[in-house]
């Protein structure tokens, strides 16, 4: 998978930009607040249909303008395609693939990317929702069916929660939950079964990356903590999981009515990371947490390749400053060896070897020039 060119019009601080990209490593150098991250954001947006920095599409439109656009030329298995996004203040965006309108659910999985930025340390240090978001985003890129199942599950939870509130307010009877819970349990089982499968694969890949980056000094282990298990080991087969979730929903029914919310299910799970047997979130050093987050992201590359047949595009936003010299060297050696198209932003050229490495660009005040 390759991104060949990107065109931005009134996007963030870019008035009008057309840029071709190298098939290998692309390094964008410049001071802060010049527009480097905006380029990565645009590519990531084209992949997921959302920004990692804002929930409002209007924020993407250049200040003082009423509309903007993003176009991306890319290829998948050598077949060339073009994505286009049109933004207008006060109106819904428009998405098209090769000139034909598409919806968000058709976009996900079309162009796969992996983004790593300093904010991704919150995958390690943040709340469980951050780790669920990472896991769900990764699986969705590889499996549109999972993306649709997750949306179904979230809709069922919202509907059950609304009914729980009505029961709490004496506007409905508890028996009204009976038709909903089997549907919710079945969807929860499918979501959890897929997560367990992916975490097993991801755990092996992440450990390989952790050992490579740390010089074989650290082992990284991943596990899915299923909420509501009470310390017991829940089943791993979908059919057994469905029965288990049905039982748990009935057990929690009284408490759920009092809370007005569903307290068991995939929406409350967590992804636990441990380095050399120690919980990374609670006891890992800052260096270990940084390496753990990077290893997790690099394992995402390998996972997506194993699932889709191609490496995704790797986007590294100012992460070189977060790594020591040995870990930077190990990372760059891996990228060169695997021939992964990578877009890197940095403020200092000293983070990179003097020997020729990919294509370098200078970014200043919304202008990009090849060096």
Is pLDDT at 231 greater than 60 in this prediction? no
What digits encode the pLDDT tens for the residues 163-178? 999 999 999 999 999 9
Is pLDDT at 138 greater than 70 in this prediction? yes
Percent of the chain whose predicted confidence (pLDDT) is above 90: 74
Give the mean pLDDT of the chain: 92
Average pLDDT value for residue range 138-153:
94
The pTM of the full predicted model, rounded to 2 decimals, is 0.85
Which pLDDT belongs to residue 368?
96
Nearest to 251 by CA among 264, 232, 238: 264
Is pLDDT at 230 greater than 80 in this prediction? no
């Amino acid at each position: 998978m390759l991104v060949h060119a990107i065109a931005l019009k009134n996007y963030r601080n870019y008035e009008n930009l057309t840029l071709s990209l190298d098939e290998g490593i692309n390094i964008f150098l410049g001071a802060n607040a010049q527009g480097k991250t905006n380029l990565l954001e645009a590519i990531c947006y084209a992949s997921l249909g959302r920004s990692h920095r804002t929930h409002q599409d209007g924020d993407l439109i250049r200040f003082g303008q009423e509309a903007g656009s993003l176009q991306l030329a890319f290829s998948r298995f050598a077949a060339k395609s073009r994505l286009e996004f049109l933004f207008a203040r006060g109106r819904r965006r428009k998405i098209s693939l090769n000139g034909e309108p598409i919806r968000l659910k058709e976009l996900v999985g079309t162009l796969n990317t992996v983004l790593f930025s300093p904010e991704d340390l919150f995958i390690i240090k943040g709340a469980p929702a951050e780790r669920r978001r990472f896991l769900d985003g990764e699986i969705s890129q590889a499996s549109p069916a999972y993306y649709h199942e997750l949306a179904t599950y979230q809709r069922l939870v919202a509907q059950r929660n609304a009914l729980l509130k009505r029961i709490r307010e004496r506007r409905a009877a508890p028996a009204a939950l009976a038709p909903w819970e089997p549907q919710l349990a079945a969807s929860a089982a499918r979501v959890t079964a897929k997560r367990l499968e992916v975490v097993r694969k991801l755990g092996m890949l992440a450990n390989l990356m952790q050992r490579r980056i740390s010089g074989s000094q650290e082992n990284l282990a991943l596990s899915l903590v299923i909420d509501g298990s009470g310390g017991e080991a829940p089943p791993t087969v979908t059919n057994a999981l469905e029965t288990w979730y049905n039982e748990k929903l009935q057990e929690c029914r009284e408490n759920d009515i009092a809370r007005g919310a569903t307290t068991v299910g995939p929406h409350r799970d967590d992804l636990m990371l441990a380095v050399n047997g120690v919980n990374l979130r609670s006891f890992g050093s800052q260096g270990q947490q940084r390496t753990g987050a990077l290893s997790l992201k690099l394992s995402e590359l390998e996972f997506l390749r194993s699932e889709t047949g191609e490496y995704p595009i790797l986007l590294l936003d100012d992460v070189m400053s977060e790594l020591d010299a040995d870990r930077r060297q190990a990372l760059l050696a891996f990228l060169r060896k695997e021939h992964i198209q990578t877009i890197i932003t940095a403020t200092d050229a000293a983070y990179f070897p003097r020997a020729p490495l990919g294509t370098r660009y200078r970014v200043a005040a919304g202008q990009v020039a090849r060096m």
